[in-house]
């Protein structure tokens, strides 16, 4: 392929992380790319290990993007289904992260409109009854995440929860259940990095206070929004056990995946995209016990054209059992988890996407 358009967001959120890593892989290969950033802005401040050469390549790819507007130049778009009804250059492959179980007709129509539709998990792909233009491609491990070699809370079992606060992710349920088992027990610590950037800080404080039922716990701490990859890396290195994998619906679940790949033990709900990377060897799996509607009145609204359907639920007793197993494993390195670093790379992700575009 001589030229390609890359239409994607560049920010500190999950989509932005994937965009950044795919663009970096394109840069390594010296690909001829025109980048149309969604939102018309590139913000890579979160990626604090970015080389100057890569920054210059990105700037050039954006500056020269309009020269790529030709009928024979394909487009790789990375975005939600909602907002992908427009196409560039007439040959577009959409890479998207669908999370729920009941695609709406508008979502089906937008997916079918693409020359190729690529989902980030087999679960998502299976929910769209499409023909040969439907694919699934796995996300890679971000090479900037590494072991720090530091000792953190060696005398405690340190649990971590990361990812924006949502009903879909069972954030409040996880925290309440953890408090029930370990609240104010000095042998255990829970660190939460759960600020939702779409919620005002004052409201976020109220949500946290409500989850804690107005009580104080000396072994739970809430981090502010972590602004850089280095801070996220430090957080993942500090914990022993990740609880982010208890989310009820995910397109991949980068925090839990990254924690596992760094050798931590993750308690993971065996559903949706988790099934593509979490196994009984590299994770502590919890079987779902049912489903519930996703709508929460904030991010998922009943009756809308997009994001309708259900999320998976779990039984409290099963999760507590997983907590206990995690305790036993907490200071052991997860050697099977570390293998995810080489099993899932952005080089493989880009190879798969290019094969689909070129076929």
DSSP string covering 235-278, please? HHHH-SEE-GGG-S--S--HHHHHHHHTT-EEEEESSGGGGGT-
Backbone angles phi, psi at 189, to 5 degrees: -135, 140
Same domain, 351 and 313: no
Low-confidence ranges of the chain (pLDDT < 50): none
Give residue 1's pLDDT: 55
Q: Is residue 151 part of a domain?
A: no
The residue among 75, 54, 55, 79 whose CA lies nearest residue 1 is 75
Give residue 2's pLDDT: 78
Q: Is residue 99 part of a domain?
A: yes
Q: Is residue 152 part of a domain?
A: no
**What residues make up the domain containing 11?**
4-140+344-358
CA angle 78, 80, 86 (to 5 degrees): 80
Give residue 294's pLDDT: 96
Angle between helices 201-211 and 171-182 (to 10 degrees): 40
Same domain, 118 and 42: yes
Helical H runs in the chain?
A: 14-28, 52-63, 105-113, 122-126, 171-182, 201-211, 229-238, 254-261, 316-329, 335-338, 340-343, 346-358
Same domain, 194 and 320: yes
Give residue 88's pLDDT: 85
Q: Is residue 134 part of a domain?
A: yes
Helical H runs in 10-148?
A: 14-28, 52-63, 105-113, 122-126
Same domain, 171 and 299: yes
Quick check: helix, strand or coil at residue 285? strand
Q: Is residue 147 part of a domain?
A: no
The alpha carbon of 129 is separated from its chain's Cα centroid by a whole number of angstroms, namely 24
Beta bridge partners of residue 157, listed in sequence order: 188
Same domain, 349 and 336: no
Give residue 132's pLDDT: 72
Q: What's the pTM value of the predicted model, to 2 decimals?
A: 0.95
Tell me the CATH number at 172.
3.40.50.2000
Structure token pair of residue 84: 């992908």
Same domain, 40 and 51: yes
Q: Is residue 167 part of a domain?
A: yes
Give residue 251's pLDDT: 96
Q: Which residue has the tokens 């929910």?
A: 127
Same domain, 350 and 301: no
Structure token pair of residue 262: 């760094």
Same domain, 63 and 206: no
Q: Is residue 285 part of a domain?
A: yes
Distance CA 210, CA 224 (A): 18
Give residue 198's pLDDT: 81
- Please tell me the total count of domains within the chain: 2
Same domain, 108 and 21: yes
Q: Are 349 and 137 in contact (CB under 8 A)?
A: yes
Structure token pair of residue 250: 């995910």
The residue among 52, 3, 64 whose CA lies nearest residue 30 is 3
Same domain, 162 and 307: yes
Same domain, 107 and 184: no
The alpha carbon of 338 is separated from its chain's Cα centroid by a whole number of angstroms, namely 18
Q: Is residue 214 part of a domain?
A: yes
Distance CA 179, CA 266 (A): 18
Same domain, 206 and 303: yes
């Amino acid at each position: 392929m001589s030229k390609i358009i890359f239409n994607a967001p560049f920010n500190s959120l999950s989509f932005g992380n994937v965009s950044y890593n795919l663009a970096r892989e394109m840069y390594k290969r010296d690909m001829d790319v025109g980048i149309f950033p969604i939102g018309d802005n590139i913000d890579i401040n979160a990626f604090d290990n970015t080389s100057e050469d890569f920054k210059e390549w990105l700037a050039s790819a954006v500056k020269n993007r309009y020269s790529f507007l030709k009928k024979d130049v394909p487009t790789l778009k990375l975005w939600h289904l909602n907002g992908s009804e427009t196409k560039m250059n007439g040959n577009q492959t959409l890479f998207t992260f669908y999370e729920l179980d009941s695609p709406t007709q508008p979502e089906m129509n937008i997916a079918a409109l693409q020359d190729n539709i690529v989902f980030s998990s087999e679960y998502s792909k299976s929910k769209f009854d499409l023909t040969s233009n439907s694919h699934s491609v796995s996300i890679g491990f971000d090479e900037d995440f590494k072991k720090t070699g530091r000792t953190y809370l060696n005398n405690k079992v340190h649990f971590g929860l990361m990812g924006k606060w949502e009903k879909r992710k069972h954030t409040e349920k996880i925290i309440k259940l953890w408090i029930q088992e370990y609240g104010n027990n000095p042998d255990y610590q829970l660190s939460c990095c759960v600020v939702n950037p779409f919620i005002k800080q004052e409201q976020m404080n109220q949500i946290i206070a409500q989850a804690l039922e107005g009580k104080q716990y000396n072994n739970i701490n809430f981090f502010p929004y972590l602004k850089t990859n280095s801070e996220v890396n430090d957080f993942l290195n500090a914990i022993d056990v990740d609880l982010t994998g208890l989310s009820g619906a995910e397109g991949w679940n980068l925090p839990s995946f990254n924690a596992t790949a760094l050798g931590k033990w993750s308690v993971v709900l065996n559903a949706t995209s988790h099934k593509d990377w979490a196994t009984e060897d590299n994770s502590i799996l919890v079987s779902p016990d049912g489903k519930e509607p996703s709508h929460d009145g904030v991010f998922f609204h009943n009756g809308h054209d997009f994001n309708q359907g259900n999320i998976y639920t779990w039984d409290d007793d099963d999760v507590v059992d997983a907590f206990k197993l995690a305790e036993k494993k907490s200071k052991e390195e997860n050697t099977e988890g570390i293998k995810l670093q080489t099993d899932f790379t952005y080089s493989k992700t880009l190879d798969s996407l290019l094969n689909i575009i070129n076929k």
